[in-house]
Amino acid sequence: MIFNSMEFLIFFPIVLLTYFLLPPRIRYLWLLAASYYFYMCWNPEYVLLILFSTTVTYISSLVIEAVKERQNDCHLKKRCMNICIVMNFALNLFILFYFKYFEFVISTINRLIRILGGKVTISCPDIILPVGISFYIFQALGYTIDVYRGEIKAEKNFFRYALFVSFFPQLVAGPIERSKNLLRQVNSPTYFEIENIRKGLLTMAYGLFMKVVVADRLASIIDPVYNNWSVRTGMDLMIATILFAIQIYCDFEGYSQLAIGSAQVLGFHINQNFRTPYLCTSVQEFWKRWHISLTNWFRDYLYIPLGGNRKGRMRKYLNTMIVFLTSGLWHGASWHFVAWGGVNGFYSILQDCTKSVREKVYYFLKIDTEAFLWKVFCGFVSFFFIDISWLLFRSRGIRQSLSILFKIWNDFTLRYFFSDEFYNMFGSTKTFSMTVFSLITVMAIDIFRKKNFNLKEYLLKQQFFFRWFVYLIVIFIIILWGTYGNGYEQTQFIYFQF
């Protein structure tokens, strides 16, 4: 079941109505049952993985807290806690490794054997990757670390904790929630509030617009180019790569908006996962605004424990590269994802290394770094480098991405934009017009958000007829312009594969 499906259109109102009709003290049990059903719609057997991860982290956290409260030797307590959290990580990461990385490791070993001239091939079973496994395991591990550090108390109620791990709006593609935010809300019953309904539904509508009107329409343009990249021109590939940067943003932010909106309708508030990332002026700023929940997770639970920036510049750069390479591997079991993470880590290190030199150049040339045009220029430069890394993300391997980059370099010409070939990519004038309109709309809304102008609040304060006029326009655009796949078969969100 996905948000842009008829099944969810039936599922969500039933969950919502039943939730508010039930007594407050047992509502969380209904949400837990609904969340497990939501996940079981993909593969009922894989719900056992969530249950296993939930049970292991629940018991581990209770044991850690019990050890903390005992009046034993501090050294012994620390040792017992360390053993407990290591076992907890080992069990959870083993599940993640087997289902997500086992095939990757075996294929890499087989490739090395062939390179060395061997003829032995290690067989590997076909493993279906469970949807959202990286998200809920990281969320559960984050909770255990928080208990270990003493930042929160271990949750005693198993079912409340299970709801925290499996809360259906953000279960399969985030945001990766923290226990200090979501678990606290799970422990306090929410109530029906019309303002939450209005804001939540409006947020969901925008998320659906980003997904089916923008992202999926762009996919119908991009996929034919990448699927036949060897016979396409470099300019076709360049446009497809630029559009992919927009596609993956609208696809993932669309999911996040749907998750945030559906949670808000139920009375829960989950964190934003994006803050206008393509309006940034540097790669480092981009990573503070893109997939914020994952970036913060790696910062708090990997970068800082490794030493952060406290142990010298070289150690800082090493820690930065470790985080980016790990992030790349988190996104997918393939070397091109690792390379994607490494490229972005290199960008971040390069920007930090050249900071003092750039500041001297700005001073010497009397460049006002706060000027609007300078920020626009920096924005274009940042997007250029980010988009090169997206080429690694979208391609099927490092070799393919380098071949595509080589074709773009050789075929680049500005005349392409005034030729029929450019417009033929879109298939028709109608598709081209809808694409341009959609991109302008997303850009305009992001500019409003960047300026801290709350367009949603502004709309909700308007007169009844004006509000509903806008609502109906949005609904008609989603219905008439939305792309729903072949035979109205809904398309998956890109980040479901992670």
In angstroms, how far is CA 298 from the centroid of its own chain? Answer: 13
**Which of these, 482, 485, 8, lies nearest to 250 by C-alpha position?**
482
Q: CA–CA separation, 402 vs 387, rounded Å?
A: 14
pLDDT for the residue numbered 71? 63
Please answer whether residues 260 and 270 qualify as being in contact, where contact means their C-beta atoms are separated by less than 8 angstroms: yes
The whole-angstrom separation of Cα 402 and Cα 391 is 9
Q: What is the value of pTM for the model shown?
A: 0.92
**Distance between CA atoms of residues 132 and 127, nearest Å:** 15
The verdict on whether 331 is a catalytic residue reads yes
* Per-residue pLDDT at 487: 45
Nearest to 8 by CA among 250, 212, 294: 212
Cα separation, 108 vs 15, in Å, equals 45
* pLDDT at res. 214: 92
CA–CA separation, 468 and 370 (whole Å): 40
Residue 127's nearest CA partner among 89, 96, 171 is: 96
Residue recorded with tokens 């039943």: 18
Q: What is the pLDDT along the chain (498 residues), one digit of tens a residue?
A: 788 888 888 999 999 999 999 998 899 999 999 999 999 988 888 899 999 999 999 999 999 988 887 767 677 778 888 889 999 999 999 999 999 999 888 888 888 888 888 777 888 788 888 888 999 999 999 999 999 998 999 999 999 999 999 999 998 887 999 988 999 999 888 888 899 999 999 999 999 999 999 998 899 899 999 998 888 888 999 999 999 999 999 999 999 999 999 999 999 999 999 999 999 999 999 999 999 999 999 999 999 999 888 888 899 999 999 999 999 999 988 899 999 999 999 999 999 999 889 889 888 888 888 899 999 999 999 999 999 999 999 888 889 999 999 999 988 888 888 888 888 888 888 888 888 999 999 999 999 999 988 888 888 888 888 888 888 988 888 888 877 755 445 577 777 766
Q: What is the pLDDT of residue 454?
A: 87
Nearest alpha-carbon partner for 11 in 32, 35, 45 = 35
DSSP codes of every residue in 236-286: HHHHHHHHHHHHHHHHHHHHHHHHHHHHHHTT-----S-S-GGG-SSHHHH
CB count within 10 Å of CB 263 equals 25
Q: Are the C-beta atoms of residues 61 and 143 closer than 8 Å to each other?
A: yes
- Residue 433, classed as helix, strand or coil, is helix
CB distance 39 to 166 below 8 Å? yes
| Residue of 75, 269, 291, 331 with catalytic role | 331
Which of 369, 370, 328, 377 lies closest to 348, judged by CA? 328
